[in-house]
């Protein structure tokens, strides 16, 4: 979304003063046969040929008249529900139009009355050969329609995509997928604290004033998101010979972008804390860093320097494969209040999984290197060290297996019931039939 487009929309947007309600309600619009939500649309400059309509089960923002001929350069729409921590999502260019030269934008924490918003934009342009090219732009639109691009990433040849735009606290994260629930193609993130709340919506702007405005959206939604949370439990194995780490997380919402990084990791001896293998997983292992968690680790684990337990080294077992943990990292300072979670299969360019779970069995360790207790100093992670032995969960029969067993039992019951009925029927016929020896 370009600064020129927002600037030309100022006259229109300033007339729209939001009556922001204190409550918020999640919403979605599929545009199937019309509008599901009470959208508020606007455009600039004013043009009699501009339209924002539901057509073919998508939202089309369009002005067939180029700007130089009196058409609109900018169009927008929003639903008047106020959000703070929010995910805005939707498909852009869902019909794979190849004549699109307009920015497709999702808006979060927008305030049209003062021209401010966070924006995740897919900038469509045709290259010299006519192929449609896309660029992802994460930006802050300041009051007065001044655009500050925070991140710009190219995604090459492009057509239809699904966008997710998370704004949690001061963390902005944009994700580009090939389709809803499909392959993640690009992640962009930044930190910014200019806007605390606002409405959600969409916007489109023409890149060139000698071309018409055209953008399409589908399945646009806005919903409240909660903070990410990691639960880490450290306990002895059932035979007390090993230490078992259980790590679960539900999202990455709100975790600062600079807490994700890549380092070479050394494998650590679980009894002494010494290095037993240097960079056994390569030179760039993807990790997530939690600072100030408390003091669950003893002196043996305070050597720092990116040491940890990871799969395949020193008989450490990760389920699923690829995970590891780094207890503490303070460059030799023994305050034992940090935690790293890393994946040996992800390189520096790969995104950290947005949710997951793994169990790490560290052989030959014991609780003397840990401090019993529950540690909640860091808002994103709870570390529990307990002497209660770990018991592996027993897999439950699948639904299909239960259905199959039920069907088998029903068939068996039906066969048995039919057999019994046939026996009773034969007995009945025998008893009631006339006998030649009766008087």
| Gyration radius of the chain over CA positions | 30
Q: Is the pLDDT score of 220 beyond 80?
A: yes
Q: Which of the pair, 164 or 23, is modelled with greater confidence?
A: 164
CB 337 within 8 A of CB 295: yes
DSSP assignment of 151-189 equals EEEEEEE---EEEEEEEETTEEEEEEESSTTS-EEEEEE
Q: Which of the pair, 349 or 430, is modelled with greater confidence?
A: 349
CB 137 within 8 A of CB 105: no
Pick the most confident of 152-156, 231-235, 418-422. Answer: 231-235
Rounded CA gap, 13 and 291, in Å? 43
| Res 4: pLDDT | 35
- Mean pLDDT over the full length of the chain: 80
| Res 272: pLDDT | 83
For the chain, what is the largest distance between any 2 Cα atoms, rounded to a whole number of angstroms? 116
Which 3 state secondary structure label does DSSP give 183? Answer: coil
Q: What is the mean pLDDT of residues 184-212?
A: 89
CB 27 within 8 A of CB 35: no
| Res 253: pLDDT | 84
pTM metric for this prediction = 0.65
Position 348 confidence tier, pLDDT thresholds 50, 70, 90: confident
Cβ neighbours of 260 (radius 10 Å)? 17
Taken in order 156, 158, 162, 166, the sign of the CA dihedral is positive
Q: Is the pLDDT score of 98 beyond 80?
A: no
DSSP-based helix, strand, coil % in the chain, nearest 5? 15, 45, 45
Q: Is the pLDDT score of 24 beyond 60?
A: no
Least confident stretch, 200-204, 217-221, 304-308: 304-308
Position 158 confidence tier, pLDDT thresholds 50, 70, 90: low
Rounded CA gap, 13 and 120, in Å? 19
């Amino acid at each position: 979304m370009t600064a020129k487009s927002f600037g030309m929309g100022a006259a229109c947007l300033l007339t729209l003063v939001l009556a922001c309600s204190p409550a918020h309600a999640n919403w979605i619009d599929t545009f199937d046969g019309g509008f599901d939500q009470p959208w508020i649309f606007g455009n600039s400059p004013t043009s009699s040929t501009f339209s924002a309509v539901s057509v073919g089960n998508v939202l089309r923002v369009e002005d067939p008249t180029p700007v130089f001929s009196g058409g609109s350069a900018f169009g927008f729409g929003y639903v008047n529900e106020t959000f703070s921590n929010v995910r805005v999502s939707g498909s852009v260019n869902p019909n794979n139009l190849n004549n699109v030269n307009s920015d497709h934008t999702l808006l979060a924490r927008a305030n049209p009355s003062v021209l401010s918003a966070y924006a995740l934009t897919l900038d469509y342009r045709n290259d010299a050969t006519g192929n449609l090219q896309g660029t992802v732009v994460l930006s802050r639109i300041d009051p007065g329609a001044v655009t500050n691009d925070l991140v710009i990433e190219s995604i090459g040849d492009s057509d239809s995509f699904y966008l997710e735009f998370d704004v949690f606290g001061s963390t902005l994260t944009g994700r580009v997928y090939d389709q809803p629930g499909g392959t993640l193609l690009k992640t962009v993130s930044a930190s910014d604290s200019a806007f605390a709340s606002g409405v959600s919506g969409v916007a489109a702007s023409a890149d060139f004033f000698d071309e018409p405005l055209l953008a399409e959206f589908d399945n646009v939604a806005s919903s409240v998101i909660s903070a990410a949370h990691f639960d880490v439990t450290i306990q002895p194995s059932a035979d007390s010979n090993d230490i078992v780490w259980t790590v679960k997380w539900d999202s990455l919402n709100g975790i600062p972008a600079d807490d994700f990084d890549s380092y070479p990791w050394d494998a650590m001896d679980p009894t002494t804390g010494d290095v037993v293998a240097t960079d056994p997983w390569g030179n760039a292992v993807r990790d997530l860093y939690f600072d100030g968690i408390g003091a669950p680790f003893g002196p043996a684990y305070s050597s720092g320097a990116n040491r940890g337990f990871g799969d395949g080294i020193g008989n450490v077992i990760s389920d699923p494969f690829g995970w590891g943990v780094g207890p503490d990292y303070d460059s030799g300072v023994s305050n034992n209040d940090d935690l790293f979670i890393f994946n040996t299969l992800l390189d520096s360019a790969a995104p950290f999984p947005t949710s997951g779970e793994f169990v790490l069995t560290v052989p030959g360790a014991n609780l003397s290197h840990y401090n019993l207790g529950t540690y909640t100093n860091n808002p994103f992670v709870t570390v529990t060290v307990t002497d209660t032995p770990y018991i592996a969960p027993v897999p439950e029969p699948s639904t299909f297996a239960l259905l199959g067993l039920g069907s088998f039992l029903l068939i068996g019951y039906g066969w048995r019931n039919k057999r019994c009925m046939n026996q009773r029927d034969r007995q009945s016929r025998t008893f009631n039939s006339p006998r030649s020896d009766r008087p």
